[in-house]
Amino acid sequence: MTANTLVSSKLVCVALNDKSQLAALEGTFNEAPYKKPPTQPVLYYKPRNTWNVDGAEVEWAKDFDGNDAPAMAVGASLGVVIGQETCRVSQAEALEYVRGYTIVCDFSLPEESYFRPDIKGKCLDTSAPVGPEIVPADTIDNPDALTVTVFVNGERKNVFPLANMQRSVAELISKISWIMTLQPGEVIAVGFAGERVPVAKGDRVEATIEGVGTLTNTLGGA
Amino acid sequence: MTANTLVSSKLVCVALNDKSQLAALEGTFNEAPYKKPPTQPVLYYKPRNTWNVDGAEVEWAKDFDGNDAPAMAVGASLGVVIGQETCRVSQAEALEYVRGYTIVCDFSLPEESYFRPDIKGKCLDTSAPVGPEIVPADTIDNPDALTVTVFVNGERKNVFPLANMQRSVAELISKISWIMTLQPGEVIAVGFAGERVPVAKGDRVEATIEGVGTLTNTLGGA
């Protein structure tokens, strides 16, 4: 396992929290089998074998025959680090439970369909770098005003202002704390741009948030 | 958090591993959006806030308004406890990576549809008791020959012979080890009867496997 991960015990990610992605999917949501858009946050976990650190290599995915996967993609999110036990808190008090902020990258297989809960594509070893550090909560005035930018080999590929999130940081902490109790050191990746960035073997990926830092990782397999 | 849980770092559950459930769903699988039955194990996680122990109370679920959920259900599974790092092992060697066996109960909200990845219904605090102990792997000749029985208030409600699993214990360990690296102390709940058992507040639930033990828990909220 990767040493010195910043995550303790749980890394929860929020899917479908980009307003423009939700708007694009609106027609699909009303078809079978769902018949309506999601009414609560859509969550997934990045389990312990995925946790990784700033500066480390992210392994290239393999298929069931041991061959290299044909494609991978990356998204980046603000990471909210929980500071104390958080159980059924209101939106108004939610930010008081935050110890600090960091960056979470989510490397995965490209998603074929948002219908299929793609555990296999999301739980790749070393696919969730978190870092480079945890900046204290009181250094960030308004987390919803931050912008996440992803560079691949120095080229800007994606810009996601968190103002475009369907649910704010405080609303998510509150909602999730009603679904499951959160513990100190657990991390929530609050939202990714709907469009993931394709990556290739050997690519250098930097995810940057002003005031939080830059998380840099390189894809293996080259 | 519950102290002394038998689980270390990860509890992975296998869904849809009951042959009769798969047969019953066969027509549905061929409809949109999937168009075919799953080709790989369907997995979900019970995160750390769910981990619980033999003899402890399982909290009754609450909705987003803080009211008690109208219904809950339980399933029980053989729990396979990993003994050493397990990465891309063959089916033939998979059982060598097992430290021992235990029982996993999965309390949840009733599932409305197998399509929706029901994170909210599956991650309830204290909803995954594991125990009562880990029996050494060499005391079980053939894990696929075991039978899981669930009693509610002393009445037998469900009997699931693991011979009815679509995938064997060895096949699952192998397949999952290609999806993610497993670490010592991690637990795989290899399969539940397709039909979950409805439970009510205050019910006493016992899950029994001969040679492995009896896991007993009581529902809260009464």
What is the per-residue pLDDT for A65? 80
Q: Is residue A1 part of a domain?
A: no
Residue A163, min C-alpha distance to chain B (Å): 25
Per-residue model confidence as pLDDT tens digits over A70-115: 999 999 999 999 999 999 999 999 999 999 999 999 999 987 655 5
The predicted structure's pLDDT at residue A115: 52
Q: Report yes or no on B49 lying in a domain.
A: yes
A115 within a domain of the structure (yes/no): yes
Q: What residues of chain B have any CB closer than 8 angstroms to a CB in chain A?
A: 1, 9-10, 12, 31-34, 40, 42-45, 47-50, 62, 64, 66, 87-88, 113, 115-117, 119-120, 123-125, 175, 178-183
Note whether A49 contacts B1, CB cutoff 8 Å.
no
Interface test with B, best of A5, A63, A120 (most B CBs within 10 A): A120
Region B108-125 average pLDDT: 75
* Residue A93 belongs to a domain: yes
Please write the tens of the pLDDT for every residue from A40-74.
888 999 999 999 999 999 999 988 788 999 999 99
Determine the Cα angle at B174 with ends A15 and B190, to 5°.
70
The answer to whether position B3 is within a domain reads: no
- What residue numbers bound the domain in which B68 lies? 11-219
- CA–CA separation, B116 vs A6, rounded Å? 31
Q: What is the number of structural domains in chain B?
A: 1
Residue A1 has pLDDT above 50, yes or no: no
Q: Give chain B's length.
A: 222
Does residue B53 sit in helix, strand or coil?
strand
Residues B43, A119: C-beta atoms closer than 8 Å:
yes
Question: For position A34, what pLDDT does the model report?
Answer: 63
Specify the pLDDT at position B74: 97
Whichever domain contains B67, its CATH number is: 3.90.850.10
Per the CB < 8 Å rule, is B179 touching A119?
yes
pLDDT category, A181, cuts 50, 70, 90? very high
Q: Do the Cβ atoms of B33 and A113 come within 8 Å?
A: yes
pLDDT one-digit tens code per residue, B86-101: 999 999 999 999 999 9
pLDDT band at B138 (very low <50, low <70, confident <90, very high): very high
